[in-house]
Amino acid sequence: MTIRRLPETLVNRIAAGEVVERPASVVKELVENAIDAGARRIDVVIRDGGRTLIAVTDDGMGMSAEELSLAVERHATSKLPDDDLLDIATLGFRGEALPSIASVSRMEIASRVRGADEAWALRIEGGRIAPVKPAALARGTRVEVADLFFATPARLKFLKAPRTESDHALASVRRLAMAHPEIAFTVSDDGREMLRLTEAQGDLLDARLARLAAIMGQEFADNALVLDAEREGVRLTGYAGLPTLNRATSQAQFLFVNGRPVQDRMLGGAVRGAYQDFLARDRHPMVALFVAAPPGAVDVNVHPAKAEVRFRDAGLVRGLIVGALRHALAAAGHRASTTVSQAALGAARPHGGLPYPTATWGPLPQTAGLAEDTAPYSAPLPGTAVPSAAPGAATVAEAAAAHPLGAARAQLHETYIVAQTADGIVIVDQHAAHERLVYERMKAALESGGVKRQMLLIPEVVEFEDEASANRIASRAAELAELGLVVEGFGSRAIVVREVPALLGAKDAGALVRDLADEIAELGDGLALKERLEEVCSTMACHGSVRAGRRLTPDEMNALLRQMEVTPHSGQCNHGRPTYVELKLADIERLFGRR
Ligand SMILES: Nc1ncnc2c1ncn2[C@@H]1O[C@H](COP(=O)(O)OP(=O)(O)OP(=O)(O)O)[C@@H](O)[C@H]1O
Ligand SMILES: [Mg+2]
User: In sequence order, what are the residues at sequence separation of 6 or more whose Cβ sits closer than 8 angstroms to the Cβ of residue 574?
Assistant: 277, 278, 435, 436, 439, 534, 537, 538
Helix (H) or strand (E) holding 176: helix 162-179
Q: Which atom of ligand 1 is nearest to the CA of 56?
A: 1
Expressed in angstroms and rounded, the spacing between residue 503 Cα and the centre of ligand 1 is: 64
pLDDT digits (tens, 9 = 90+) for 454-481: 888 888 898 887 788 888 888 888 888 8
The answer, yes or no, to whether any atom of ligand 1 lies below 6 A from the CB of 15, is no
Phi, psi of 503 (to 5 degrees): -75, -5
Instruction: Please give the residue that has the higher pLDDT: either 77 or 337.
Output: 77
pLDDT digits (tens, 9 = 90+) for 397-455: 666 677 888 999 999 888 899 999 988 899 998 888 887 887 788 778 877 877 788 88
pLDDT digits (tens, 9 = 90+) for 141-174: 999 999 999 888 888 888 999 999 999 999 999 9
Of all protein residues, the one whose alpha carbon is nearest to atom 7 of ligand 1 is 33
| DSSP-derived secondary structure letter, 242 | -
Of 286, 250, 267, 303, the C-alpha closest to 91 is 303
Assess whether pLDDT exceeds 60 at residue 358: no
Expressed in angstroms and rounded, the spacing between residue 541 Cα and the centre of ligand 2 is: 56
User: In sequence order, what are the residues at sequence separation of 6 or more whose Cβ sits closer than 8 angstroms to the Cβ of residue 108?
Assistant: 121, 122, 123, 124, 143, 144, 146
Helix (H) or strand (E) holding 153: helix 153-157
| DSSP-derived secondary structure letter, 190 | T
Confidence of residue 527 (pLDDT cuts 50, 70, 90): low
Q: Which residues sit opposite 455 in a β-bridge?
A: 499
Q: Which atom of ligand 1 is nearest to the CA of 99?
A: 18
The answer, yes or no, to whether any atom of ligand 1 lies below 6 A from the CB of 74, is no
Proportion of the chain above pLDDT 90, given as a percent: 36
The answer, yes or no, to whether any atom of ligand 1 lies below 6 A from the CB of 100, is no
Q: What's the pLDDT score for residue 198?
A: 96
| Ligand nearest the Cα atom of residue 143 | 1
Q: Which atom of ligand 1 is nearest to the CA of 140?
A: 3
User: In sequence order, what are the residues at sequence separation of 6 or more whose Cβ sits closer than 8 angstroms to the Cβ of residue 491?
Assistant: none
Phi, psi of 319 (to 5 degrees): -60, -40
Q: Hey, which of 19, 41, 72, 77 would you mutate to test ligand 1's pocket, going by the most ligand atoms within 8 Å of its Cβ?
A: 77
Q: Which atom of ligand 1 is nearest to the CA of 96?
A: 25
The answer, yes or no, to whether any atom of ligand 1 lies below 6 A from the CB of 122, is no
Expressed in angstroms and rounded, the spacing between residue 389 Cα and the centre of ligand 1 is: 74
CB 406 within 8 A of CB 426: yes
The answer, yes or no, to whether any atom of ligand 1 lies below 6 A from the CB of 93, is yes
Alpha-carbon dihedral 518, 521, 522, 527, rounded to 10 degrees: 130
Q: Poorest-confidence range of 54-68, 123-137, 439-453?
A: 439-453
The answer, yes or no, to whether any atom of ligand 1 lies below 6 A from the CB of 52, is no
The answer, yes or no, to whether any atom of ligand 1 lies below 6 A from the CB of 35, is no
Q: What is the mean pLDDT of the chain?
A: 82
Rounded-to-integer distance, Cα 432 and Cα 441, Å? 14
Buried b (16+ CB within 10 A) or exposed e, 471-484: bbbbebeeebbbbb
The answer, yes or no, to whether any atom of ligand 1 lies below 6 A from the CB of 77, is yes
User: In sequence order, what are the residues at sequence separation of 6 or more whose Cβ sits closer than 8 angstroms to the Cβ of residue 367?
Assistant: none
Q: Hey, which of 26, 32, 36, 144 would you mutate to test ligand 1's pocket, going by the most ligand atoms within 8 Å of its Cβ?
A: 36
Q: What's the pLDDT score for residue 541?
A: 66
Question: Rg of the chain over CA atoms, in angstroms?
Answer: 31
